[in-house]
Structure 1
């Protein structure tokens, strides 16, 4: 059993002011989201979504999912959840992620576990309704370089191949070479054999990246009723036709998101900027922007051109050719799913905050936004090291220089904090300023210049003394640096860098049930698990 401790996201220094302010429910952000993610908020969200989502949309969704699940060895729990989606009392909790090779970074697991656990928690609180956890595969993305690798033990395991178009349609040819690397790196333990079999079955026994990723996610989470959705589906795209037509003719997203960005940018960084048309044209080996120029619609970097009537006719005939970009994809998701809540990382939620005004303008309910669980996994040995070095949870999350400086000050037998001397100096110079004002005001500039010079001198002395102490305490500094490097590879959060395979090799099939047991999505704190 894992031991759990936690700390506030704002104390980790890895989350933006936007996310920290959202979690603190700062009033200035209220206009950019619908409802805050607490258990009571879901009652009103259910009522709002019930009015919007039609029985016809449910039938289309269930029919599409049944087609997508043909040939998939789904669990009874997942198949039951698909059937439940026909009922007006069933809603979804959704997360989405790229088709990263072998799940990519650890937070792939945390997103899905957060989604599963929130669905379970809502069922307990609202037993008259059903809640289905959804993993939305980003099959239409075309950023292959973002997904063609995973990190293992400090090494980059990479899939090299030519690419173009939607990544979900990419053939898995060439992944035999990656498997050979996996086989040599993972070793021969029982857990290693399970991992190698999982990789082999997913990538060498499936023809494209979509089916490989569906197999992988299903194998990891099928016992928990996870339902996997591929949005690159002609029937589901047909539900989206009115919104794609609106985008082509009126560019509402551009107008409304631009208005929101202007307001949001007063205090926060903008994550994405809208285009005048936020749709791509999708075909075999092709995913390019649709642009409106010189009175016609063009597919960027091609010779494909449509008049207004031609592109609308094409949309109604083959809606699957029209692919939403980062601005439109959230809308597509909310149109085709009876969704209540989207669970994502800080970067994802940042661009969702830009969309509230757009959703309102086209009368689509805006979902509750929930920051996914974040986790730092420590071994028992690492936890003991941290305790012996007197390093707290707050300490270990500090950036490298701040971490070392703080710990050196703590363990030094001399005081390396010149704050008292600086305060004394400031008092002295305040007296000199008063004296100058009473005698000759022309001396004020000289007094202030001397003050700055002496404060800088104290800063330099403090840094030199700290540097000298680091040399003197080099063994302890090295041990502290080593443990932080282990837990924060490449100076980043473990969950954004490390692949789940490193922990599966250690903990095997216990890993995911342990995460399911420990992660509480509405707790909204960063968890530290000692396994």
Structure 2
């Protein structure tokens, strides 16, 4: 039986907390449906069935998805899901930017949540619900995508990084990675990971998956297929040229009705701020909320702004009329791309989205999109908070027991608890005795300071400076004495730091830093199976999983 504990992970997004826990009735209108309301799932499905004619052609979409997933090594179960999509089956969808291998563990958590939500919905509604992962290969922030963190054999956090190809800032899917670079990255991973029985198969799988991959997005898709293909996860790359052809009618609407969409985003932003919440996405006046891959500048992904009835880049160095953009769209739809505010609409145009699985930041900025959906005669799908997990290995659990540390202690007050433990070992009462000496010195010195200042007032400042220097020297000796005493506990300090490295690497939650290779190397696929066995919860939550 799987061993888990539930932990209330603190979110940096008050709006997300309010939505998830339903603590602020004022925000319900921003989202409409709620994942925790079972009736909303039935309502949303009924709505999808009534409005099927407003979406992209399902059979054409299935054809694009079939080709993409075949290239990624898609399983028979994934192909079954695509066949269901061609017949109009609803989906649960979520996504992430493509990252090196699979990026941080939160990507795995997102995929697990998508699968869980689709299965749960299908059981309730009595109809197949297809799980879809949207790879945001159109994003151009290479520095967010190009790395993975591992824990080395020396118990250090190591960042493995793929250098950005030369040229303009284009999408991650269009940024080419050479075979030599793949080999170099795999070699660096081999050097970094501790030896284990699973290390050889892991590296072999990564090297095989890298063959004939031209981008981070392609390898990302292959790795997700390897991990979740047998569970039926359907993948797409948002920068797929064939997908862009299907998206062209919605891009046309976004261009023709751009002013109305902007007004909806700006209005929502004002409303969110009036409710006392911070914005989690930029709503800039004049922004078209669309990107164009500028052929005249090496396919650089350029955000469009509206000026004087036309469109320009941010600096005004390139411009297009609305008619020119519509012409480009007709001839080269692959040159268009969504931003975070228009992507939700495009997603809903392509698929009958029953629900979308989102992280905390995403839930917060989706609050800005409800009015934009309505402008185009659509409605926001059900927002499902993704589940999150912390993996705790047996050795780490033993250390936590040894030092009487709870999970909350590590997440919320680790340094304080570490210092407390060291003080408890101090039978000599070093801090107390030095404190007594400092107090006694200050008391003895005060009459001398008073006498000197009475003789000559100017000596008061000199005397006070002298006093502070002596106290500093006493403090210096205290620090050296404490360090010398703590050296007796170096092994314990290493164990304590190992706890922090495993659970809060780099001072951040495990899921935001470590890549799955850390655990695959230690446990094969057993770590993933344990996550998959955790009971699914539609309103998210954080589970501690003991390996």
Q: After the TM superposition, which residues 46-445 of structure 1 pair with which residues of structure 2 at under 5 Å, given as runs? A: 46-54=45-53, 57-88=57-88, 90-127=89-126, 129-153=127-151, 154-160=157-163, 161-163=165-167, 164-173=169-178, 174-186=181-193, 189-249=196-256, 250-265=258-273, 266-275=275-284, 276-282=287-293, 283=295, 285-300=299-314, 304-401=318-415, 403=417
Structure 2 partner of 1:3: 3
Structure 2 Cα separation of the partners of residues 66 and 514 of structure 1: 30
Q: Cα deviations across residues 15-62 of structure 1 (Å, max 9, x unaligned)?
A: 432222222202122122121112612111111122223386212211
CA spacing shift, 1:318–1:399, aligned 2, 3 Å: farther
Structure 1 partner of 2:17: 20
CA spacing shift, 1:522–1:70, aligned 2, 3 Å: closer
The root-mean-square deviation of aligned C-alpha atoms, in Å, is 2.9
> Deviation at 1:180?
1.8
Q: Secondary structure of the equivalent of 2:133? A: strand
CA spacing shift, 1:335–1:379, aligned 2, 3 Å: same
Structure 2 partner of 1:504: 520
Q: Secondary structure of the equivalent of 1:101? A: coil
TM-score, reference length from structure 1: 0.82
Q: Cα deviations across residues 148-173 of structure 1 (Å, max 9, x unaligned)?
A: 11011111111114353111022221
Q: Secondary structure of the equivalent of 1:69? A: helix
Tell me, yes or no, if the aligned pair for 2:100 and 2:147 is still in contact at 8 Å: yes
Structure 1 Cα separation of the partners of residues 537 and 90 of structure 2: 17
> Deviation at 1:213?
2.0
CA spacing shift, 1:341–1:72, aligned 2, 3 Å: same
| Alignment coverage as a number of residue pairs | 476
Q: Cα deviations across residues 345-369 of structure 1 (Å, max 9, x unaligned)?
A: 1111111122122212222120111
Structure 2 Cα separation of the partners of residues 336 and 412 of structure 1: 65
Structure 2 partner of 1:454: none
Structure 2 Cα separation of the partners of residues 407 and 32 of structure 1: 47
Tell me, yes or no, if the aligned pair for 1:172 and 1:204 is still in contact at 8 Å: no
Structure 2 Cα separation of the partners of residues 7 and 61 of structure 1: 40
Q: Secondary structure of the equivalent of 1:522? A: coil
Q: Secondary structure of the equivalent of 2:291? A: strand
Tell me, yes or no, if the aligned pair for 1:288 and 1:301 is still in contact at 8 Å: no
Structure 2 Cα separation of the partners of residues 399 and 53 of structure 1: 51
Structure 2 Cα separation of the partners of residues 51 and 516 of structure 1: 34
CA spacing shift, 1:285–1:361, aligned 2, 3 Å: closer
Tell me, yes or no, if the aligned pair for 1:169 and 1:209 is still in contact at 8 Å: no
Which moved further from structure 2: 201-210 or 57-66?
201-210
Structure 2 Cα separation of the partners of residues 410 and 346 of structure 1: 39
Q: Structure 2: where are the runs of 5+ without partners?
A: 152-156, 432-474
Q: Structure 1: where are the runs of 5+ without partners?
A: 417-463
